[in-house]
Structure 1
């Protein structure tokens, strides 16, 4: 298990470019299973989750050609279907949350899929009901073995059949999975209450270039007319909006003028506004964001003067993946704010570590926390901590960068799952982070 040793209190300055989006990369890489023709994907983040998925595809028989850094061509023309029944395949899937995104393509193309209960962040129960509800509406049947935690799903007939699907929640991975199953189904599929995040839009646009017929892209009502086959294409992954938000948080806490390059600003949605509500000043320059040094920043109140609340919600609302970073930033603001994490019941438990560092936070229940800011008058204290998940891990790293003294964060493989070479990139701005194994 690797650790970060962080010497806090150093100001960061300069330019940094975000990596490709992790969540989009997982979706579009799995979508290459829908065709036997080559699909080239650029701006792939070289992070643990994505690298593990690519290695799994290679062992499944997908031919992967590396054209350069973050640039690969995938061709799934000779899959080893027997490997997908092996204990090794199932065990590796349990350690990779993104593996669930292979279900839709495999079901659409081969009529069956075996899905072990996927792993990932320990942030509370993450059900798959939405995925399987959609598959069953398309004519699949599923079974679950509670002893081995394995789902078996297969089509009742040769091809899936289009249908009207009203999702019980706007699940991003659920929507993506159902879209990938529906593009090869017979007839028309309507998906209502679909997730419409930019990454889902990107997946749809890529599938359209491959020959899919999808209407309503960018809305929560998608209409898909199934086709017989899909072809190859090229696709470029968007910059990672969560990493961009993390860099805004770093710039607010310890920055002395940081420019975040090539952010695809039109795809950031409400993210810049959420930080501005905490009082963070920033400038939109072309496709870059410049965050000047924040000597202080003050949390806004609502128009009627009432207490500010920030809550996650489906796109175009605030992504839950950034609440951990926003909580850390609020700890040094002037004023108070209530954070409401609606989606995952265990995601806020990491605030105990911030409280140990001196942050004034009241954890009301598993979903709500009140932060009373220090107004940068009281520096956080260095501590030894363990990263419980990707987003809490980066939040703790931001706290450690601003803390007085030397902090240690263990289990940084969790951070590696979502952030590419994060210590080298931050050290180039003036941070002092070393990795120990």
Structure 2
């Protein structure tokens, strides 16, 4: 990995425009970079970044996958005992014989990438400016077991809407940061990096980029960060969009449970509580313990990440076992994400985010709801499809709610076009 110090160049913006799906001519029309509030020297400067994984690291990954010591086959016909052996072995075969990390590395390096130190930690981010003059700045936050990988397919539809069924008035400037402890961001070396602290870092990042008015979006862990950002309502934040109702995961005592839709959501949550949250319990209580396996065995890392929710697992498993992929949730894209975790050695540091959330100083307290407008999209394949009544109970300033026809937990990854359509509609009134 290499990085050098300077401000974003025209060439880097051009590369980002092409990566976002623009033609060379259209990318050349990208708007000017806003005046940065970051200094040109010192820890707070914004430094261009480029991924450069050493060949021996890639070779070591393949060697470790090939040397996996396999468990015996599960004793059931479904995934009730965990990730099935056939899926894990199919993933390993493709990882060693068909997967090309350099393809993804080149794809990532086609985007303008940067790092800047915030609150003692280097934050990595992709920054793609739209060529449309009045584009709205948008900071989007990934989740676990995701990364910025899950957001990249939506860059084109969001920054260049005229090429993807939208209008110039729908355009966004995109900022896609990696949560500290994930990907190419630094690993925190002290306690306290919970969702609230990350949200404060995002507000500082947008200030350094010179954005005085912007919106935010997040799912999974990213929804917790975006929720916190909305509750603190920093100067310039106009509104937020979420696709996971994180507060409902902490309890439903104050939520209505009368309609069929509400009862269905409650039943889905109860299934998740009974059989789907093993990873959450482990990472919230013993992230260091699972970290040894996540840093030592690529297949253990992959299996841990695959065993997240039933909908995502079935889609990913089908892709590796020869079935058609679900949208953009292809086997290549899945391994882009897992390989990113492995090659950056962030399995345990990403897991600690759950411990931080469970042990936050204000854990269990009810902060005031966001004062900014809130938008929510309830995708059908989510862990639970939150009813509008639940979203309104949690977010009194809810101004947009919709139930898309497709998409699951990795909505931006699976259905980037549909996801972009949701964000255009959600933030249209704010514009």
The TM-score range, normalised by the shorter chain, is under 0.3
TM-score (norm 1): 0.25
Greater length-normalized contact order (CA 8 Å, ≥ 6 residues apart): 1
Structure having the higher helix fraction is 2
Report which of the two has the higher share of strand: 1
